[in-house]
Structure 1
Amino acid sequence: MEVNTTLPSEFIILGFYEWPHLHSILFVVFLLVYLMALIGNLTIIVVISSSSNLHTPMYFFLCNLSILDITLISTVMPKLLDICLTGNRSITYLGCFTQLLFFVICAVAEKFLLAVMAYDRCVAICCPLRYSYLMNSRISLQLALISWGFGFLESLLLIGLISRCSFITHNTINHLFCDLETLLKLPTGSTQEAQMAVLVSGSIFGFVPLVFILVTYVFVIYNILKIRSYEGKRKAFSTCSSHLTVITIFLAVILRMYIKPKSAYSVEEDKILAVLYTACIPTLNPIIYSLRNKDVHVAIQKRKAICLKVLSI
């Protein structure tokens, strides 16, 4: 079968075109959020890398999460800032698909990484005596690589399918970036194959890790409740409270984005949820882990004291 692969020279990302009078304010807000996300996640990476007592699987996964968050927000935010500041909504065909590629990699890898972090906490609480054996450095590295690998696998699959679609006259994207679902609405020909692939891969690479996280935390909470002493319960819960907070926020946004009736669909709400997912969550993650995690908080304070001492000399 002959496939029409006519390619446009560029796409047009509308962004928040409904609120042109707010573009200056949105630029300032998005710039501050972007800088906070970069500073927060880079701080987490530097502090964990330079603190020998934090060289454990849990903090190794946290470093990977920070790298994913930096990549995710850097994939979306620069072009969105450009739109708000200059009004330049055009993006090249290659630039659009590069943006989509990295977005899918980060979105899928983050789901699996959060599942791996849930498994890590489950082993630490349910099997503390076997933790060093079940979660050694080699296994931790393998689990992190698998998470990234799933992200690359799905991105290449979906990019390969959608790049075969024909974008002859429809090149206007009513979203904040080159979103997969929005792109699938543009081709003039049949997109049944690509839509089916998105549905199947979404079930495998999206639904499965989220269910795994929920099931894992059922076991975690069950084992915490079995602890007799209040102090023991408090210590056990404190080891997973940061991750549980991140998971709660993440699930709330994801479920609202993808599990809602078509009659309740709203482009404006979709864009706001996209901001929460691509900008707010990467910004909140390092704040949550630094404030609610005693070890990270102490390590940050030590590095801060050293920096202040050096600057005062």
Structure 2
Amino acid sequence: MASDLRLVEAVKATLGEEMARDESVVLYGEDVGVAGGVFRATDGLLDEFPNRVYDSPLGESGIVGAGVGLAAAGMRPVAEIQFQSFLYQGFAQLQQHASRLRSRSRGGFSCPITIRTPYGGGIHALEHHSESFESGFAHVPGLKVVIPSSPAEGKGLLAASIRDPDPVVFMEPTRLYRSLRESVPDDDHVIPLGEATVAEEGADVTVVAWGSMLQRTLSAVDDVDADVEVVNPRTIYPLDTDTITESVKKTGRCVVVHEAPETAGFGAEIVSRITETAFYHLEAPPERVTGYDVPVPMFAREDAYLPDEKRIAAGIRRAVET
């Protein structure tokens, strides 16, 4: 059986199912209890699990730090950070403690904490509410970075993240929370971390995209006179390099799409790996279609900042016509 859900509904359903399945799962964060979360992704869970859902103080460093202690004590904390940009305040706890607990203790402790956080633009939010820092989190050894691109992926990847023995930053595209409905399995649905998927098969060019950019890419390929293969990494770290490489070896061309700024964005890492593993198969230089090297602008310029179908289609044409 399956239900027709939006991403925010899939997240809420998965949290409830994982808490029912495992009593060590606890949920906490700013306004996740009484208010049900800033996007209502935790609405009703306080009533269902009154002793395992907690509203935290407004302090992201403390939220992440408390999770490290809970995880070391045998719990599986799931913390919500209201917007990804606020997680910068807890970055020291992620980089210096959560990601290192296993290595620091020589395997004596693990740190199964999941940090849920909305990210990305497209909803005309305020400053510090629309950034995409997946490449920064991926640079931290020991930290896994996961980004769903649909409601079904939201359920499968979140379940896998909560069950994972290591810390996970689970980044939920705000643009997709209520803009897309999809059939989501009602039963136990787990998507293994570190496995990409081919969202659309093709032979002329490979496009790698994730988060809300995947949906825009799938729309853009309809305007391109080429047979486009679209690869969705799903997990930024660990990255499934093999799936991407095999696709590029088949097509000979590659375009990477993401909404983070271009410089040192995760597209650069993907292009680097392609040149290392599939260089002699390339028939054209890899292309990147990204956000610009500026802070995400306010309402009037936000749409111009984000890659749209027109920019993505133009990048694909450049790769194909070179």
Fold shared per TM-score above 0.5: no
Which bracket does the TM-score occupy, shorter chain normalised? under 0.3
Which one has a bigger Cα radius of gyration?
Answer: 1
- Larger helix percent: 1
- The TM-score with structure 2 as length reference comes to 0.24
Q: Which has the higher contact order (CA 8 A, sep 6+)?
A: 1
- The TM-score with structure 1 as length reference comes to 0.24
- Larger strand percent: 2
